[in-house]
Amino acid sequence: MRLENKTALVTGGTSGIGRCVVERFRAEGADVVFTGRRTGLGHDIAGTTGARFIEADAGSEADAERTVGETLGTHGRIDILMNNAGAPAPAGRLEELPLDGFDQAIQVHVRGALAHMKYAAPAMRAQGSGSIINVGSVAGHRAGYSSSMIYAIAKSAVIHMTRCAAMELGEDGVRVNSISPGGIATGIFAKSLGMDTEEADSTTEKVKGALATIQAIPRAGLTDDIASAAVYLGSDEAGFVNGEDMVIDGGLIWGRRHSEVMKGGGTWSHLFE
């Protein structure tokens, strides 16, 4: 019950990481409000978890203002804001990239998160406490970890926006951190290939095998791995953590697996044989 007596607002809570976070936050004792665009699914999740669902587009400033206002109207406070909502972005060579796709990615990942922080910040400042958690990506740290340059740019912006906000809000007792997932088994990979949302969400088990081979830890990342980090950052245990980006990737961005290196004898000598 590490989040007992806390109120949390989670965007994009109807599937993948967001849904797992909603379930974990509730299990840890928080009152949870979550948003999404799939009304039926949102109400189903609300019914099984006891969380409250608000239909909203996380990239809309008007919806962000309404969502924060309704949360404050119901609970009187916001202790945790998790900007989780996201979507795939167009891939392709630089000269082929559609700039309207860039605008859409920035709207959801960056502008949407900024809007929710904008409207939640006054209440958190007045409380003298709060935890904002933004979702970045390993693609925001290193080039080559997303098929979409646009997605990588957006996530890099989220990570730096987190640090900027942390330096301002930290003075009022409000912590701002981000989590950068690696290869997490969700439907986002299928969505990036053009599958509709319902079909994509059913592919999670299929991608686990492929994701198990890309980092030192020999399994796919799970939504629960990210939710565990979110519980920590939202709890009082993380009371002195501010401006950090927690990379949860099994070691993906830090180098090649040892076994891959040793296939070549562990040296470059094989190149000259």
Render the burial of 110-128: b for 16+ CB within 10 Å, e for the rest: bbbbbbbbebbbebbbeee
In sequence order, the 6+-apart residues with CB closer than 8 A to the CB of 86 are 12, 108, 109, 135, 188
The tokens describing 134, both together, are 């933004």
Closest CA to 30 of 65, 82, 66: 82
How far is it, in rounded angstroms, from Cα 124 to Cα 9? 12
CB 69 within 8 A of CB 121: no
Query: 25 exposed, middle or buried (CB, 10 Å; 0-12, 13-18, 19+)?
Result: buried
Catalytic residues: 151
CA torsion sign for 36, 39, 45, 47 is: positive
CB 234 within 8 A of CB 133: yes
**What is the number of H-type helices and E-type strands within the chain?**
11, 7
